[in-house]
Structure 1
Amino acid sequence: MSRNWTDHDVPSQQGRVAVITGANTGLGFDTAKVLADHGAQVVLAVRDVEKGKQAAARLGADVTVQELDLASLTSVRAAAAELHDRLPKIDLLINNAGVMYPPRQTTRDGFELQFGTNHLGHFAFTGLLLDMLLPVAGSRVVTVASIAHRIRASIHFDDLQWEKSYDRVAAYGQAKLANLMFSYELQRRLASHGTTAAIAAHPGVARTELMRNSPAIARALFPVVAPLFTQSSERGALPTLRAATDPAALGGQYYGPAGAGGYRGRPEVVASSPQSYDVAVQQRLWAVSEELTAVKFPVG
């Protein structure tokens, strides 16, 4: 394959089943489009079913919709149960959905919205579906992180839900750091099975509606700096697509734009922050996540 990897390098996905969270718009939609265009059966796992149906109609391929609200563990369990009934297997689970910089809110289960949706919802969803991936050789769990895992980010075990004080930027950083640590620890647990790989990816700074809750100064500057530091949603989806489909991709890797700062560029294997590789914190986060979600993984 060419070093400048693009969607044209995606091999045939005929016979493969891909479940993508948050796929009715933005990066998730662009990921779904490429996979569907290459022959995959794609399930758009989305909170808004009507918007999901509109997205599926635009894709015009073997695409269906599954209701999934990652901010509700009841919804996560119901969605996983329905997918067990609907699908014979899963080849690709792409944990793409997320919220960024909202005012402090909580999920239906009382978790801070960013940590609860971006990390705990995906943790539970993956754990409940993993038995559908484990028998499938070459299956992958791709979790979408962010360069924000480096920005004022730490796992605040003393206040995971930001009840003492709330900083939306730091809370997003924590959630995205948790995404990475989850992916790395999941790969450690999957390694002995030899069938399923856990891989992380990030889009750089992609022009999507996720920026809508950014601080006012960031929104004001965005049109000025966009040409220098951002890339299209379609290009932002390429690291996820490469992690999901490149035959050479390995469990435990992290894909992102190769340009300066990781803002944009061709999708390559990149390094995450030093703290993201802390095994002790990864394992502690895993244990806490199991306790909070009451989901136990079939690997361990």
Structure 2
Amino acid sequence: MGNKYCYQRVDMSAKTVIVTGATAGIGYVTAKHISMMGAKVILACRSEDKATQAIDNMRAEYSQWVQKRQKAKSKTKNKKRDTVEEPQPDELNLEFMKLDLTSLKSTTDFVHNYKSRGYSLNVLVCNAGIALPPKELTEDGFEKQFQVNYLSHFLLTLQLLPLLKSSSPGSRIINVSSVGHARGELNLENIQAQLSYSRIPFYGNSKLYQIMSMFSFQRRLEGSGVNVTSLHPGVVNTEIDKTYQDYWMKNVWGFFRRTGMLIDVEKGAATSIDLAVNPEYNDVTGVYFSECKRTTPSSLSRNVEKQEILWKYSLECLKDYLDDNILEQIGEDRKEVKDVGENDNI
């Protein structure tokens, strides 16, 4: 529980971190290990029951880890060792706050609730996601993978920018994307499945948009002290296949699991943790990582013209949830933000 993978344990005791989708999978591991370094970690997710159970489990696992560590220290106390004292809080500082990414109102309510508590914000880990559901529109009228994986996180980031800027330099936005982004496309005529829908391509679309928005934020946040990165965690053995309602996909994922083709969640979370805590990344922005290494995302994701088309479309989707202060933070004028579909050039 610590530096087994690509990250090192550092002192995060003065930091506050939000991790979306932190009740299971790599989000759970990410939240736990960052909290183990002393940070205050907000579990932003839908279910209070699941979050409460997750927090209890994290604290129990941490207690067991501390006990093992103390035993190991006692066995070597008379030996000369070159050691670095690592952070070890008395108790994990974890808190649940409700966030339902299928709802733009819930996303905005989360931000209002968060700000009302007077918390600062150093790191935002946009981790929550769904994969390959049947075609479904959210209450806001958007294709579900588009909204959960991308648009609501985009809104969350925009609304939390003032807090991230207040905690700069070194504030971080981390988008958990996927190598599946390489299969994505940007076609506004079918971006909400107006013409057709296929589960894998639309998953790839949502992950593509996360990376494209990273580059758009990078340009607009230059000099602000707020950095933005994105990552592919690896093909991870998580519970995401619970969202698969296709018998064939469940069998494929089950085959991957049985044959050892999936990496464990500890390794899958390592890149997210490293990007969140590593002081070497204080000035790193606009970079895509794959399994803890810098790499180059698809050529489409790097297309500036396409990035700006997506940016404009996204703002139009969210125009009722962005006040003038937020638009000013990103150098936008409300007069330029129109209803979706109002501009024929989009």
Q: Same fold (TM over 0.5)?
A: yes
Q: Please list, as runs of the form range in 1=range in 2, the aligned pairs for 1:1-300 lying within 5 A after superposition.
A: 5-7=5-7, 9-60=8-59, 61-136=92-167, 137-151=169-183, 153-193=184-224, 195-214=225-244, 215-226=246-257, 227-249=259-281, 250-257=284-291, 267-294=292-319, 295=322, 296-297=326-327, 298-300=329-331
Q: TM-score, normalized by length of structure 2?
A: 0.79
Q: Distance in 2 between matches of 1:11 and 1:34?
A: 11
Per-residue Cα deviation, 1:160-192 (whole angstroms, up to 9, x for no partner): 100211111111111000011111211111112
Q: Distance in 1 between matches of 2:226 and 2:9?
A: 19
What is the one-letter code of the residue matched to 2:314? Answer: S
Aligned length: 286
Q: Distance in 2 between matches of 1:212 and 1:88?
A: 34
Cα RMSD between the aligned structures?
1.7
Partner of 2:66: none
Q: CA deviation at 1:57?
A: 2.0
Compare CA radii of gyration and give the structure with the larger one: 2
Whether the aligned pair in 1 keeps the contact of 2:176 and 2:272 (CA below 8 Å) is yes
What is the one-letter code of the residue matched to 1:119? Answer: Y
Partner of 1:260: none
Q: Distance in 2 between matches of 1:126 and 1:85?
A: 17
Whether the aligned pair in 1 keeps the contact of 2:12 and 2:39 (CA below 8 Å) is yes
For structure 1, which runs of at least 5 residues remain unmatched after alignment? 258-266
Q: CA deviation at 1:219?
A: 2.8
Per-residue Cα deviation, 1:120-177 (whole angstroms, up to 9, x for no partner): 10011111111000021211000110011012x1012112100211111111111000
Whether the aligned pair in 2 keeps the contact of 1:202 and 1:240 (CA below 8 Å) is no
Q: Which runs of 4+ in 1 moved over 6 A?
A: none
Q: CA deviation at 1:88?
A: 2.9
Please give the secondary structure, in 1, of the residue aligned with 2:166. coil
Q: CA deviation at 1:255?
A: 1.6
Q: Distance in 1 between matches of 2:211 and 2:108?
A: 23
Deviates more, 1:97-106 or 1:288-297: 288-297
Q: Distance in 1 between matches of 2:228 and 2:114?
A: 20
Q: Distance in 2 between matches of 1:158 and 1:4?
A: 46
What is the one-letter code of the residue matched to 1:292? Answer: C
